[in-house]
Amino acid sequence: MKVLIITPFITTNSKFGNFIHTGGGVAVRYENYEKELKAVGHQVRVLCPNRRTVDTWVVGSSGPITSSCIRGYPMLALTPSNLRRLLHCYRWCDVVITPETEHMVLQSFMANVFDKRIVLNVHTNVHQMLASKSSPYLSSLASWVYYSFLSTSLCSSLSTCYTVSDTNRKTMSSNGVSVNGVYELKTRGDVEKVGEDERRVIRGNLAPGATHLPLILFAGRWLSEKRIDRLAATLPPTAALVIIGDGPLPLPTTLHSPSTNVFVHRGFLPNEKVYSIFQCVEWIANASDFETFGNTSYEGNSVGTPCILQPAGGHLSQIVNDGTNGFYVDFDRPDDVVRSHIASFVCNPPSRDVVMMNIVRKADAVTILDVIEPGRCERKSYEIPTSNPVVYVLNTLRYLLFQKVLKLSILLMGSMVNLLIVLTVSLLSGVSFIPADTYEDRVRRMKERKRRRKRDVLRRFVLNAKRKIIKIREAGEKGIKMLPGVNDQITTSDKRQE
């Protein structure tokens, strides 16, 4: 089967700031989608609105990971070249997998015209991000527009919708959006256990001078919705905060203060290094109140590291009982209250075995193969064949009138409204999309990755050499002490000197 994957996007807004900036943990999830589909023989093409959204995916530590990535297209502009590329991909594929982009109604309309199945993956509460950056009066309007777009996109029987947490499924259902299922979230299965010597080195690099304290880690994109400042403001004196990541928000760099045990490291790390860091800290924290699911905390739980989460959004699907795989902390309360709450448990984290046993998993979760393969999908009522000619004629008329005419008209009008709203927002707020990466940009990043890889190899070589020297020295000292007569000779020489 031919599968087209449209990845998450970046939108830059000069008035509201960078209010839509996805692609962190979601990009890793889309990488897993491609790997799973290719492993069973499906043909896959990846369409990236901008390659910067999936940097760790397109260019990995050992070179390009995906050979199916098409040249990026900034969809917000919707230029003729973008439309031609999109039309070409729709003609080629059998199934389209796309996140909730600004043109999701248009994409659903095109899928209906070309008679292609479209899978809409809802990962982020975009309307909350829009409302948080605008006037409070626009919050309800942004929510209504967002869910109206989702409902219109799903009015076709060729469209299905999936999300990543039960909490978000309930929220969407309460707003009139039908959700077909919740994805099974996967973590790395090839994680190498970090040794004690390497653990000391990593902790020393993360928090120099504060390795004796419990380390609380935030790893991710620096966005205002993440509320990283709340983690620093409510840090108890008995713990240290480590912030790793990058993004349009410059605030985290100003939070760097070793005197108050706040350590900021700018830059994204390869996925395997992040898992190593997860094993070297005591806690993973996230004060965000809009997440559909906490990818970082879930990945940390998979290696036995507990989490500290804001009890909101998809986080509510991640901890069943406080103290098992983490704690809920309401960061909206006063600083002193939050600080004392964190201090009450931060020095006594649950054991890693307890954390891994209490990871919240869904029994009825679906995989990307369940979604894509036709044999695993339930057929619509009008698609079920029947031997009764009268029923067959009625089902055919129902299909032509309601599916091909009425719903296609709804999608067409929705697409026009979709384009009108996007253009209006662009004109009023000054949206400036980030241009697609060129071949030279990709080569430059690959060279930079190679330089980093060589530097890491040298560091590992030096570290291993130090370990071997220490072991040889210790073995030599033990050997000298075990030689017969050595202690007697030493004591005799000491007596002669006296």
Domain end call among 312, 332, 357: 357
The pair of three-digit structure tokens given for residue 407, joined into one six-digit string: 């719903």
Q: What is the pLDDT of residue 306?
A: 93
CA 70/CA 86 separation, integer angstroms: 11
Between helix 271-278 and helix 295-302 the angle, nearest 10°, is: 60
Pair 273, 320 in one domain:
yes
Pair 206, 169 in one domain:
no
Pair 63, 171 in one domain:
yes
Pair 332, 370 in one domain:
no
CATH at residue 331: 3.40.50.2000
3-state secondary structure (DSSP) of residue 433? coil
Are 72 and 38 spatial neighbours (Cβ–Cβ below 8 Å)?
no
Are 313 and 211 spatial neighbours (Cβ–Cβ below 8 Å)?
no
Pair 172, 299 in one domain:
no
Q: At a CB cut-off of 8 Å and minimum separation 6, what does 486 contact?
A: 480
Note whether residue 447 is domain-resident: no
Q: What is the pLDDT of residue 379?
A: 45
Q: What is the pLDDT of residue 274?
A: 84
Q: At a CB cut-off of 8 Å and minimum separation 6, what does 227 contact?
A: 287, 288, 289, 310, 331
Nearest to 360 by CA among 314, 329, 313: 314
Rounded to an integer, what is the distance from CA 243 to the centroid of its chain?
16
Note whether residue 446 is domain-resident: no
Between helix 295-302 and helix 25-39 the angle, nearest 10°, is: 60
Residue 8, domain extent: 2-184+366-437
Note whether residue 271 is domain-resident: yes
Q: What is the pLDDT of residue 214?
A: 93
At 82, which amino acid appears?
N
Note whether residue 121 is domain-resident: yes
Q: What is the pLDDT along the chain (498 residues), one digit of tens a residue?
A: 899 888 765 444 333 333 333 445 666 677 778 888 888 888 888 776 554 444 434 444 444 444 444 444 445 556 676 777 788 888 888 899 888 777 788 888 888 888 888 998 887 665 555 555 555 666 677 777 778 888 888 887 788 888 888 888 888 888 888 888 888 877 777 778 888 888 889 999 899 988 899 999 998 878 777 888 999 999 999 999 999 887 766 777 788 888 999 999 887 777 678 888 999 999 999 998 877 788 888 888 888 899 999 998 888 888 888 888 899 999 999 999 999 999 999 999 898 888 888 887 766 788 888 888 755 444 444 444 555 676 666 666 665 666 666 777 777 888 788 777 766 766 665 555 555 555 666 667 677 777 877 888 888 888 888 888 888 887 777 665 555 554 454 444 444 444
Pair 173, 205 in one domain:
no
Distances (CA, A) of 67 to 19, 71, 154, 353: 30, 11, 31, 39
CA 148/CA 105 separation, integer angstroms: 10
Are 22 and 48 spatial neighbours (Cβ–Cβ below 8 Å)?
no
Rounded to two decimals, the pTM is 0.69
Establish how many alpha carbons lie within 13 A of residue 241's alpha carbon, considering only the half-sphere containing its beta carbon. 28
Pair 303, 387 in one domain:
no
Domain end call among 437, 464, 481: 437
Pair 168, 51 in one domain:
yes
Pair 161, 252 in one domain:
no
Q: What is the pLDDT of residue 493?
A: 47
- The number of folded domains in the chain is 3
